[in-house]
C-alpha cells in the first residue's frame, strides 16, 4: 500500500535562511507519526508545505500516492488540520462552528448534520452545543478545535500542539480521542513539545533540526541508537566513598552519585550495566533495597540528538 505522506528532497528558503534542507519524509497508513524538533527546526514549515499553504523551492510531495498541488482539492478533502492556535468563530455557537467547518468539505446538509452530531459526541461537547467559544474553558476550546478539524472524517489529520495549556483531564481526553481516531483507521501526524505524550501515543517518531531529519524510528529503536543507556537507582545501606569510586570506575558508567542512601547511576548503552553495578555493591558488602532500572526517555533521546543549547 502506498504511503499516505511521501516527501522527497524538499527545499524551502526564507531569503538567506534555509528552512528545509533536502528534507525527506514518509508516513505509512495507520501510523501515529510524531514530528519533533526544537523551535525553528522546520516542523511547521514542513506541514505547511505538505498542505500547500507555502510554496517551496524544490522537491516532490505525494499524498495518498498522488502528487499534491495547491489545486488538488480532491486530496485536501481527505485531510484534517487541528492548529496549535484555536481557530473558531466567536460569534457562532459550538454546533454552528463545527457545522461551518464541516460544510467546507461536505455539501449535503443531511449527511453534514449527522457528521456534526458524531463530532460533538466524539469530543464530549453535548452539553455545550449552544455555547459560544468565549463561554468555554481552555480544555473545552481545544476539544471544539479538534471537532472542527475532524467532523468531515478525514483520512489524514495533522495535530499541531493540541494539548498546550490544558489541564491533565482535558489532556487525557484529547489523547484518548486521537487513539480512537487512529483505531478507526485515521493516519495521524502529531507535533508536540510534551515528550511523554509522544512516547505514549506515537507509533514512530522523527526528530528534526535545522530543516533536516536527524533520527527516525520507534521509541525503542531511538533508545538503542544513542550512547546514553539506562538510569539505575539502588537504595543502599552502608555504602562508602570507596565503593562509590569503584562504581564510577566501571567502564560503562557515565556518572554516579550517592545521596540519602540512594545510589544513582547514568550509564552508556550496554547489556550488563545493572549486573556490573550490583556486583561491585555485593563484593563490598553493601546492602541493597529497592532497585530501579529505566531506559532513556524520549526527552533524553531528544536532548542527546539536538543538544541542550537554548533556542529562540
pLDDT on residue 165: 82
Residues 105, 117, single domain; the answer is yes
Indicate whether 300 belongs to any domain.
Answer: no
pLDDT on residue 78: 97
Instruction: Report whether 4 contacts 80 (CB < 8 A).
Output: no
Residues 146, 193, single domain; the answer is yes
Q: Look at residues 173, 190, 223 and tell me which one is the last residue of a structural domain.
A: 223
Instruction: Report whether 94 contacts 146 (CB < 8 A).
Output: no
Indicate whether 303 belongs to any domain.
Answer: no
Q: Look at residues 204, 223, 242 and tell me which one is the last residue of a structural domain.
A: 223
pLDDT on residue 270: 82
Provide CB contacts within 8 A for 279, sequence distance 6+.
Answer: none
Decide if pLDDT at 308 tops 90. no
Residues 178, 263, single domain; the answer is no
Q: What percent of the chain has pLDDT over 90?
A: 90
Residues 115, 193, single domain; the answer is yes
Give me the CATH number covering residue 267. 3.30.70.100
Decide if pLDDT at 271 tops 90. no
What average pLDDT does range 280-285 have in this prediction?
96
Residues 209, 287, single domain; the answer is no
Residues of the domain holding 192: 5-223
Residues 76, 186, single domain; the answer is yes
Residues 286, 187, single domain; the answer is no
| DSSP result, 104-126 | TT---HHHHHHHHHHHHHHHT-G
> How many domains is the chain partitioned into structurally?
2
What average pLDDT does range 103-109 have in this prediction?
95
pLDDT on residue 100: 98
Indicate whether 305 belongs to any domain.
Answer: no
Decide if pLDDT at 244 tops 80. yes
Give me the CATH number covering residue 155. 3.40.50.300
119, 273, 284, 292, 312 from 178: Cα distances, Å: 13, 37, 51, 32, 29
81-97 per-position pLDDT tens digit: 999 899 999 999 999 99
Q: Look at residues 223, 250, 275 and tell me which one is the last residue of a structural domain.
A: 223
Banded pLDDT at 269 (limits 50, 70, 90): confident
Residues 246, 118, single domain; the answer is no
DSSP state of 135: G
Residues 49, 193, single domain; the answer is yes
Banded pLDDT at 210 (limits 50, 70, 90): very high
116-152 per-position pLDDT tens digit: 999 999 999 999 999 999 999 999 999 999 999 999 9
pLDDT on residue 312: 66
Residues 219, 231, single domain; the answer is no
Cα separation, 174 vs 162, whole angstroms:
8
Residues 141, 251, single domain; the answer is no
Provide CB contacts within 8 A for 35, sequence distance 6+.
Answer: 43, 46, 47, 189, 190, 191, 206, 208
Decide if pLDDT at 1 tops 80. no
Residues 179, 247, single domain; the answer is no
pLDDT on residue 80: 97
Most confident of the ranges 60-64, 174-178, 223-227, 303-307: 60-64
H or E, element range at 27? strand 17-27
160-183 per-position pLDDT tens digit: 999 988 889 988 999 999 999 999
Indicate whether 304 belongs to any domain.
Answer: no
Amino acid at each position: 500500500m502506498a504511503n499516505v505522506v511521501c516527501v522527497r528532497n524538499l527545499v524551502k528558503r526564507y531569503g538567506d535562511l534555509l528552512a528545509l534542507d533536502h528534507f525527506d519524509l514518509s508516513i505509512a497508513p495507520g501510523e501515529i507519526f510524531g514530528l519533533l524538533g526544537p523551535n525553528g527546526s522546520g516542523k511547521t514549515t514542513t506541514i505547511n508545505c505538505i498542505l500547500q499553504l507555502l510554496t517551496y523551492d524544490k522537491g516532490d510531495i505525494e499524498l495518498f500516492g498522488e502528487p499534491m498541488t495547491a489545486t488538488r482539492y480532491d486530496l485536501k478533502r481527505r485531510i484534517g488540520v487541528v492548529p496549535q492556535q484555536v481557530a473558531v468563530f466567536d460569534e457562532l455557537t459550538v454546533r454552528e462552528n463545527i457545522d461551518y467547518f464541516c460544510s467546507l468539505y461536505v455539501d449535503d446538509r443531511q449527511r453534514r448534520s449527522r457528521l456534526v452530531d458524531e463530532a460533538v459526541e466524539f469530543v464530549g461537547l453535548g452539553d455545550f452545543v449552544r455555547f459560544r467559544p468565549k463561554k468555554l474553558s481552555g480544555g473545552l476550546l481545544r476539544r471544539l478545535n479538534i471537532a472542527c478539524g475532524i467532523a468531515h472524517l478525514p483520512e489524514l489529520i495533522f495535530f499541531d500542539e493540541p494539548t498546550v495549556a490544558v489541564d491533565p483531564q482535558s489532556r487525557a481526553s484529547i489523547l484518548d480521542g486521537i487513539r480512537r481516531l487512529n483505531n478507526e483507521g485515521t493516519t495521524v501526524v502529531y507535533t508536540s513539545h510534551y515528550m511523554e505524550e509522544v512516547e505514549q501515543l506515537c507509533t514512530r517518531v522523527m526528530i528534526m533540526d535545522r530543516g533536516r531529519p536527524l533520527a527516525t524510528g520507534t521509541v525503542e529503536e531511538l533508545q538503542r541508537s544513542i550512547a546514553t543507556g539506562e538510569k539505575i537507582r539502588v537504595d543502599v545501606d552502608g555504602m562508602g566513598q570507596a565503593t562509590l569510586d569503584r562504581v564510577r570506575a566501571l567502564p560503562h558508567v557515565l556518572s554516579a552519585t550517592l545521596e540519602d542512601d540512594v545510589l544513582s547511576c547514568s550509564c552508556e548503552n550496554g547489556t550488563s550495566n545493572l549486573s556490573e553495578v550490583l556486583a561491585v555493591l555485593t563484593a563490598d558488602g553493601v546492602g541493597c533495597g529497592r532497585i530501579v532500572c529505566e531506559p532513556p526517555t524520549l526527552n533524553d533521546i531528544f536532548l542527546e540528538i539536538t543538544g541542550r543549547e537554548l533556542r529562540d
